[in-house]
Structure formats: structure tokens, C-alpha cells
A and B are shown apart, each in its own frame.
Chain A
Amino acid sequence: MSEGSTLLSWVIWLPIVAGLLVLATGSDRNAQFARIIALIGASANFLVSIPLFTGFNRLTSDMQFVELAPWIETFNIHYHLGVDGISMLFILLTTFTTLLVVIAGWNVIQKKVAQYMAAFLIMSGLMNGVFSALDAVLFYVFWEAMLIPMFIAIGVWGGPNRVYAAVKFFLYTLLGSLLMLVAFIYLYHKSGGSFSILDYHKLPLALNVQIMIFIAFFTAFAVKVPMWPVHTWLPDAHVEAPTGGSVILAAIMLKLGAYGFLRFSLPIVPDASHSLSGIMIALSLIAVVYIGLVALAQSDMKKLIAYSSISHMGFVTLGFFLFNNMGMEGALVQMISHGFISGAMFLCVGVMYDRMHSREISDYGGVANKMPMFAAFFMLFAMANSGLPGTSGFVGEFMVIMAAVKVNFWYGFLAASTLIFGAAYTLWMYKRVVFGAVANAHVEKLEDISKREFFVLGLLAVAVLGMGLYPLPFTEVMHASVNNLLAHVAQSKL
């Protein structure tokens, strides 16, 4: 069923070609044309990715939809693609989110429209490439290339302090990934000249070597997640990024770091992962508790949601390093759910920002009086962000807390504190922004969401509620791959 499939190439190259086409429309005189091509490209991209889910064989942990062709034969580098139950859902998440971003930016972006749309389309293709690459060099190329459109998105369409944020984002993530490249080159020699990630999974390594490689991977992935204490680029990047940039950053890019842990760190250096798991769990719990508190102190909505993202990603890394089914699947569910919820939260802030041109909580108050429909959506997403059962935000957190209590009661204790802190920072912000009497003349002039905004938020609402009420289809596709990974990680490579 997956032999000879070119589906993965389609989801990578279709948006990139569409992006180049959009670029070709040139200046803003053809803006409407650029938008329409972008919409067609993004929709086609989403449609093309659906067979990945429907045609997915959930009984095997093998790579599916595999494509293998030589690329640079001198160094044994291949164009090698494939997905398993861990990566497949993220490709759908990417194509879905990109479509939303294109619609959300429809007439919000008025300057350099073609370039904006192109940046996000190309980014979408590159991120799909990261999720499906099975060759280390191919992975690395996609991984680094994807920084460029995001760098441009922040640097061109960003806020007043955008250059500082863009440079910080770029340097931080680039420095992290350079060590990963070193690790790849080491593994290439060690494996006798292979860049195949699946070969690395089987490669025996001494513990001290494993630990070095773990640290190299860690610097790349921890920065991307981001884990405490290498997280400070994220709030700055979010604050300055345009809404679309924030959505992609929170919904997809952070997941790439977490994905890296599953595809590289755990299977390639399992013994190091086990021996360093205590530190990883500690960093994750610091992210949950410390960052949860820091979020409480924010006065800028985007910063608050950025910190909330870091705190929620703490659950992901926590779940990985508990080494049990529930924790790992919970972490994966949390990654997808956080894609929906953080995307929705940033879109909600974007809706208000487009009207008020402020992200400061204190500039708002009483929005519900003027935008009741928006207030209802925002309430739903705020509750999902607080992990309310029935929304997707609950599922992952619940699973990880259950898994953590099983390993150590106090891990669960610290993780569960998010029930209080998560609700506190989210709902306190909601209270100050949405509830209350109309605060000022600017709020008085607000108009409720348009049909376009309703459509975008409505799709996300369906996703958040659907995944919360019936998560089975999401977890079912993961089982085989997660079980295989756990079995693999349990075996020593020494």
C-alpha cells in the first residue's frame, strides 16, 4: 500500500512550488491573485496529506510511504522519506495549520502579500520534510532551511523590535543545531559511511560516546522545544512575530524539537537517555512549574501565551523521559493538542491586535460586551489551555500526569500543579481582557469577528473539542510505533 508512493514528496514539494508561484506574482498590485494561489496551494497541500492518515497501516511500526533515491552518492546521502505513527500526525497538523494561517492572513497582511504567503507555504513544505526525512543530511538541510522563511517572517512583518527578536531566534537555534551536525558526522564515520537514521538506531555505542551525542542532540532539540533554561528566545520571537508566524512557531516549530528527541536521542543513544533521564525530568518539571509562574507575571498577551507554551511543552519532554506508554503517547497527544490550542490562542490575540494594535492586557477590558461571539471562542480556547476535560488540552496532560504518578508521586505532584497555575494565568488574563465593563473608547469601537475569522476559529474549535471528546483515533495510530520505540529504548546498546 505504501510501496512506490510519492505522497510524501507531494506534501513537501507541492507547497514549495506553490510558494514559488505565489512569489512570481510579484508586487502588491497582484495581491489578490497571490492570495488565491496561496489558498489553492495550501488547500491542495492539506488534501494531499489526508491519505497519509486514511491509508496509514496502524498495525506496523515500520516506516510507511517510503521513498528512497540516491542524492549525493559520494557521501552515501539519500533522498529517503518515510513516516511512522510518531511523525505522520504532525504532517497533517502542519498542512492544517498552514491552511489556517493563509486564511487568517487574508486581508490582515497588506504589505508584501505575495512574499508573506510564499514564506509560509515554503515553510510548510520544509517542515513536512523535517518530519519525513530518514536521511540525516536531508533532515539537517530541511531543519536549517526552515529557519530562513521564519527569520524573514519575523524580520519583515514583525513588530517594532523585530530585528532583535529575529536575530536572537536565528542565532539561538542555529548554534544549537551545529552540534547536531557534528554528531551526524561522527555517526557517519562510526557507522561506516551511512547517513541513514534507521541505521543509527541499530548502531552500538559506548556510554561516554552516547552521552556526548546526547548532549549534542540536546542542544539542538532543547532550544527548539524550548526547554528551560534555553527558552528565552521564544517569548521575544512570539511578541515580535506576525500572527501567522506565532501560530506556526507555536503549533509546529516547537514540535520539531520534541520530535527530534523521539527520532534521534531516544533510539540512537538509549543508554544515555536513561542515565540522563533524571536531569531531563527535572528540566521538564521546572518548565511546568517555574514557567507556569512566570506566565502569571506577564502583562503582554503574546508573552503570556508564549510562556504558557513553554510550560505545556514541559509536559511533552516529561512524558518522553518517563519511558512508559502512557507518558509517551500522552506527550504526543499533548504535542498535537498544543498545536491546535496555541495556534488558536495566538489567532485570538491576533483578532484583537488587528483591531486595537495592542497586545497589552491593560489596554483591554470588557471585550465580551462588543465581541460576544469572539468571547465565546476565546473562552473555549482559554479553557482548553487550562486543560479542561472535554477539550484536547486535557487528554495529553491527563495521560502524562497519570504516567508521572506511576513513576514517582512527586513528579505527578509537580506536573499536576498546572491545574492551578495553568488556570490561574489563562483565566486571569481572560478576565482582565474579556470580562468587565467596557474599559475605554477603543474597546467601545470593537466589532465582532468576521465570517473569515469565524471560519478559522470554528475549525480549530471543532478540532479542540473533537480531540477532547474522542481521542481514540489519534492514539490508535501511535500504538505500534510507540511500543516499538519503547521496546527499542529498553534494550541497551553498550
Chain B
Amino acid sequence: MTEMQKLYLLVPLAPLVGAVIAGLFGKYIGRVLSHWVTIAGVATSFIASIVIFQDVAAGHVFNGSVYTWMTSGEIRFEVGFLIDKLSALMMVVVTFVSLMVHIYTIGYMAEDPGYQRFFSYISLFTFSMLMLVMSNNFLQLFFGWEAVGLVSYLLIGFWYNKPTAIYANLKAFLVNRVGDFGFILGIGMVLAYFGTLDYAAVFSLAPEISSLSVSLLPGQTWSLLTVICILLFIGAMGKSAQFPLHVWLPDSMEGPTPISALIHAATMVTAGIFMVSRMSPLFELSETALSFVIIIGSITALFMALIAIVQTDIKRVVAYSTLSQLGYMTVALGASAYSAAMFHLMTHAFFKAVLFLGAGSVIMAMHHQQDMRYMGGLRKYMPITYLTVLIGAIANAGLPPFAGFFSKDSIIEAVGLSTIPGAGFAYFAILAGVFIGGFYSFRLVFYTFHGEERFRHAPAGGHDHHDDHGHHGSTVPHESPWVVTVPLLLLAIPSISAGWFIGPMLFGGFFGDTIFIAENHPAMHHLAQEFHGVWGMMLHALTTLPFWLAISGAGTAWFLYIRRPELPAIIKAKFSLISTILEKKYGFDAFNDIFFAGGARLLARFLWRVGDVWLIDGLFVNGTARLVGWFSSLIRHVQSGYIYHYAFAMIIGVFLLVSLFVR
């Protein structure tokens, strides 16, 4: 094993060791040692990732097995790593955000009795996510995929005494399982037709296989790769919360805020985007699948952004914004702009982590009050939080020169150039999304940090589990401790500057051959020809629609929440139907609760009561027993014990025999 290979192993194992120590022995080693051991693990992992990233950037690629998991017939299932630019980028993003969140957690969870458990979980998450992105085969991908789902489940339900939290975590797990249901069938199809689950082998066979078609329903034939890609993408729809499997993500906000930033914004939910980028050699060969991807993505991007407008819970605004931004990434995938999707994934990880952690900082200052209607005017009490959230909001709105501008703008341009069926709708959807994005981002800033100080007449904080704070509504809000603000600042830096690397990353062939783009999907190629440096891109933006849409979105927010703060209520009353639809989130939750959850329970009861209890057990099993019993009770009368009964029967018998034989 070379030094580099040892480093590869170190990256996922260091957080795992931290997680195991904090998880199993946290009670004995105490809080401080628990957070140090996990932070040390993730920091090691981060540094190793940087080293690996530099090595990979220098052109080294590793694809190899760590151990053979299992063999069956001709097929070997390996656990192994594929370290190329795609995975190296993810490793750096994951470990960096994770490290920031680890440090932030020291402040955020300071008074929580489950302190060690929390650190153990987030380190375990980091391990799982790294196993997912470093995998060189579908099996390990699925392992990481489900493992991050498990940790997400554990963390959403971290405060397990809260009924809403344990409802949300079950919902999240089950909705994700619906996605995984498609995903595992996709993997099954890959294994059935390719005979291997190794990425490299599958990708090299893909062009050959692309001519095959399958008939899943009588009379219908589909291209095999279309079926495989759509099944795999269903997995991505679960994990990356795409319509209509998006319903779990807003509820996941029941978990502590650090994990909302780490898992439900920056890393885990982007696993689907990463997976599709990784699978570009398959997706590129199916127009139908790409169309499906772009349409699902654009529905998510537009309609989830609309919901963000009416949310009053600060975390939920950010959550719906995340859904919308994930929609943008998915749209980019559908437009074959994988590098743009990955680029947006990276910038989004930074600025969305800032927004979530900033929101968390506000929530701490508000004693776990999350409702923006009871905030306002906070900027003078918490200037660092204000500054960083403002940076995050500008980046999220996609205004230059912040990071979000570059990634979002290249997605919009790429979709405009795409010719895939559905690209026209997608272009409209993401343009509209820019205006809405500008609006909800600045609404959050203005509503929370500007205007009247509404917290002075607020009811007590929303979460009973933190009653032990003991300083409810006592003093004015104050800025959070350094463990909270330093990660915020460190994440704000790339939220501003990460976009400036657009040249080398998107158009400089950074991803090289790790991403495959078919020749009939030239959008990114055209985009590269139009690109004339960072300054050129910003100047050019001033003359294009997206920029002015974002600006007018921000302006509208200013007008409604600073200039005329009485207006939103009037507008809401005037358009009560629309606002009700948005507040009910288009009725998906109610529909799922009644139709799927309720329907399954009803069907379950029916099958049990009627099928098992009444039919099989009642009629057949106990029925047989009763029949035997009834028959026995009848013939029992024959054995009456009276001699004359038996004598009578004998006489009849003799008579019958005689009459038969004596003729």
C-alpha cells in the first residue's frame, strides 16, 4: 500500500474512529474529550482530503479495491475507492463543512444532555458520506446512501421526546426508502445486464448496452439505459428531495440546526446530484431519462421557491430555499451541465451552510424561538451573524460577485442552450425562480435583522426541551460565542469567493474525463466559448435578465418588509387562496398522510382482519378443527354405551349382509 492509499483509508476511518469513541465511551470520557476526539477525526480527514485533492489535481487517479465484501457465482462485490476529481472535490467540501459544523456544535449544543451522542452521530455521518462519495462501485454507493439516511433519521429524531421530531424522522426515512426502492431496482438492472457493479466496468460497457431494450410491460419496449437511469434517478429524487419525494426535507428541520446545515443542506441532500454526475456515462446515453431529470428538477426549483415566500419559520425558509436550489442542480444535470451542477453543489454547500448556521445563531439568541414574526431588528445585537447571513443571502440570490451568482448563472445559460425536450419549461422555471429567490432571501434578512424589534413582545420560545436555559425573555439578544461565529466567518469566505474559480472548474477541463458528455449535448461546450473570465461574466450579467430579476426580487422584499411593512398582510388577505395553497404546500403532506400512510394502514388492517384472522385462521384452520369436532360429536352418538343399541346395530348389519350374499 502506498502512502497515498493509506491516506485514502484515513479519510473515512478517522471520523469513524471519532464516532465510535464518542458514541460508546462518551459517557466515560466526558463532553470535552468527546468533542475533541471527533473534531480531531474530522480535521484529520479534512487535511488528508486537501492533500488528496492536490494530488488528484496533479492528474493522479486511483481506482482500487480495499477488500472483497462477498463473492457469489462469477460476481465479486468489492469495497473500494475511486479517487478522481469528482470525488476529491466532494471529499473537500464534505470534510470542510463537517469540520465547521463540528466546531459550531460546541456552542449550539452546549446545554444539551445528548452532547456526546450528537458528536458521535455527526462524525458517523461524515464517515458514511465519505464512503458514499469515495466508492468505486454501486454496492458501496448504496451502503453510503443508506447509511447517511440512517444518521439523518437519528439526527432528525435527536430530541426524541418531541412528537414532531419523531414523526419527521420516520417520515424522512420512509420517503427516502421509496426512493431507495427505485434505486436498488436500478442497481439490480445494472447487475443483471452488465454483470458487474464496478463503475469503470459498467461505464465502459455502457455504449454497447445502449442499443438493448427491455419489455417490462407487455407490448411496451423501452431502452434499457432509460429504465436504469430513471430507476437510479428515483433514488436521487428521494435523497436529494426532488418533487414529489421532497416532502421529508422541510419536516427534517425538527432536528438540531447544525445538522440542518450539514446534512439537509450542504452534503447529504446533494448525494443525488453527485450520483447522477458520477453516472453521466449512463445518463448521457438516454435522452428520455435526461428529459425526465430536467422536468422533475424544474418543477422542484420553481414550486418549492414559491413556498419559501410564505414561511415564517426562519429554518423553513432556508429549507424551501434548499429544495429550490437542489432543483437548480437537477435541472443542470438534465441539461448535461454536470460540471455546473457540481459547481453549484459546492457553492451552495458553503452559502447554505452559512444561512443555516446563521439562522441557528439567531435561534440561540432568541432562546429557541424560530418564528421570524417575533424577531426583527437584530442586526445591531448580533452584527457578525447579520453580516454572514447577509453574505449567504446575496450568494443565494445569485448576485455578483458572490459565489452563487457564478454557479447559478452558468446553470441558467446552459439550460438556455440545451435542446433536450423539457428545457424550454426548465428555462422559464429557473428564471422565475431567480426572482423568487431574490425575494425570499432578502425577505429573510429584512424580516429578521431589520425593522421593528418584535421580539420584545414575543411569547416564550418554541421548544420545551430547552427549558433548562433559565433565562427566558430576560435580556436583549446577544451575539453568539466564538465557536459559533468563527465557523460562520470561515464559511462566509468561500460563499463570496468560491465562484471565482469558475474558469478552471467549469471551462478549464477540471473534471476532465470523469464527466462524460455526449456530442449531441453541446451546451457546456458553447458556454465555454462564450466565457471570457470572471470579470467578463459579471459585466455581461448586468445586461441579462437573471441579474435584473434577482435585483427586482430583492427590491420587492425591501419594499414590502422595510418600506411598507404593513403591506404583506394586506396582500396576503387579498390573495388568500394562493397563500393558503402555498401554506398548505400544495396539499402534498395531507394527501400523503391520507392516501399513502392512511391507505397502507387501512389495507394492512383489512388484510389482517379479513385475510388472516377471518379467512385463513377462522374459516380454514379453526374451521377444519370445528368440522372435525362437529363430525365427531355426531358419530359420538353411535357409541352410546347401551347394549341394546349395539345389539340393534348388529342385527341390522347381519340382515344387510345376509340380504347381500344370500340370494
| Chain A interface (Cβ < 8 Å from any Cβ of B) | 168, 172, 229, 231-233, 290, 293-298, 324-326, 329-330, 366, 368-369, 379, 383, 388-390, 394-395, 398-399, 401-402, 404-406, 409-410, 412-413, 416-417, 419-420, 423-424, 427-428, 431, 434-437, 470-472, 475-476, 479
Contact = CB atoms under 8 A, between A and B. Distances in A.
Nearest to A289: B607
A417 B611 contact: no
Of residues B146, B178, B188, which shows the largest number of chain A Cβ atoms within 10 Å of its Cβ?
B188
Nearest to B163: A436
The 10 closest A-B pairs by CB, nearest first: A405-B188, A325-B73, A296-B604, A297-B604, A406-B192, A389-B143, A435-B166, A297-B608, A435-B160, A232-B617
B571 interface: no
Of residues A298, A324, A431, A479, which shows the largest number of chain B Cβ atoms within 10 Å of its Cβ?
A431
B145 to A, nearest CB: 8
A325 B73 CA distance: 6
A325 B166 contact: no
A405 B180 CA distance: 15
A392 B469 CA distance: 43
B600 interface: yes
B181 A417 contact: yes
A189 to B, nearest CB: 31
A406 B139 CA distance: 16
A293 B607 contact: yes
B216 interface: yes
B612 A424 contact: no
B170 A409 contact: no
Contacts of B68: 472
Interface in B149-192: 150, 153-154, 157, 160-161, 163, 166, 170, 173-174, 177-178, 180-181, 184-185, 187-189, 191-192
Interface residues of B, number: 51
A428 B170 CA distance: 7
Nearest to B146: A389
B472 interface: no
28 contacts: A229-B616, A229-B620, A232-B612, A290-B611, A296-B604, A325-B72, A325-B73, A326-B72, A326-B73, A366-B161, A368-B160, A388-B147, A395-B70, A402-B187, A405-B188, A406-B188, A409-B189, A409-B214, A420-B174, A420-B177, A424-B600, A435-B161, A435-B166, A436-B161, A436-B163, A472-B68, A475-B71, A479-B72
Given A405-B192, A423-B173, A297 B601 contact: yes
A463 to B, nearest CB: 16
Given A389-B146, A424-B600, A416 B184 contact: yes
B428 to A, nearest CB: 35
B603 interface: yes
B166 to A, nearest CB: 4
B161 A294 contact: no
B605 interface: yes
A394 B70 CA distance: 13
A389 B600 contact: no
B212 interface: no
A399 B612 CA distance: 29
Contact of B621 (A232, A324, A405, A472): A232
A435 B174 CA distance: 17
A329 B188 contact: no
Interface string B64-84: 000111111101000000000
B75 A326 contact: yes
B161 A437 contact: yes
B558 interface: no
Of residues B75, B153, B184, B603, which shows the largest number of chain A Cβ atoms within 10 Å of its Cβ?
B184
Of residues B139, B143, B189, B608, which shows the largest number of chain A Cβ atoms within 10 Å of its Cβ?
B608
Nearest to B149: A388
Contact of A409 (B153, B166, B216): B216
Given A409-B214, A412-B188, A431 B178 contact: no
A409 B603 CA distance: 25
B142 interface: yes
A424 B181 CA distance: 13
A389 B146 CA distance: 7
A409 B221 CA distance: 13
A431 B166 contact: yes
A419 B160 contact: no
B31 to A, nearest CB: 16
B254 to A, nearest CB: 12
B101 to A, nearest CB: 23
A427 B189 CA distance: 28
Given A390-B143, A435-B160, A470 B69 contact: yes
B131 to A, nearest CB: 10
Given A402-B191, A424-B174, A476-B71, 16 more contacts: A232-B612, A232-B616, A296-B601, A297-B601, A330-B72, A399-B72, A401-B188, A404-B188, A405-B185, A405-B189, A406-B191, A423-B174, A435-B161, A436-B161, A479-B71, A479-B72
Given A296-B600, A431-B166, A409 B185 contact: yes
A383 B150 contact: yes
B21 to A, nearest CB: 15
Contacts of A329: 72-73
B185 A416 contact: yes
B160 A436 contact: yes
A409 to B, nearest CB: 5
A294 B604 contact: yes
A415 to B, nearest CB: 9
B143 A290 contact: no
A293 B170 contact: no
Given A369-B161, A427-B173, A435-B160, A297 B605 contact: yes
Nearest to B215: A409
Of residues B70, B143, B154, B600, which shows the largest number of chain A Cβ atoms within 10 Å of its Cβ?
B70
Of residues A296, A404, A409, A412, which shows the largest number of chain B Cβ atoms within 10 Å of its Cβ?
A409
Interface string B359-387: 00000000000000000000000000000
B184 A401 contact: yes
A197 B265 CA distance: 61
Contacts of A471: 69-70
Interface in B581-619: 600-601, 603-605, 607-609, 611-612, 616-617
Given A405-B185, A423-B174, A472 B70 contact: yes
A456 B161 CA distance: 28
A238 to B, nearest CB: 14
A293 B160 contact: no
Contacts of B70: 395, 471-472, 475
Interface string B542-565: 000000000000000000000000
Contact of A298 (B174, B608, B611, B621): B608
Contacts of B605: 297
A172 B43 CA distance: 61
B418 to A, nearest CB: 31
Contacts of A435: 157, 160-161, 166
Contacts of B192: 402, 405-406
A290 B607 contact: yes
B231 to A, nearest CB: 10
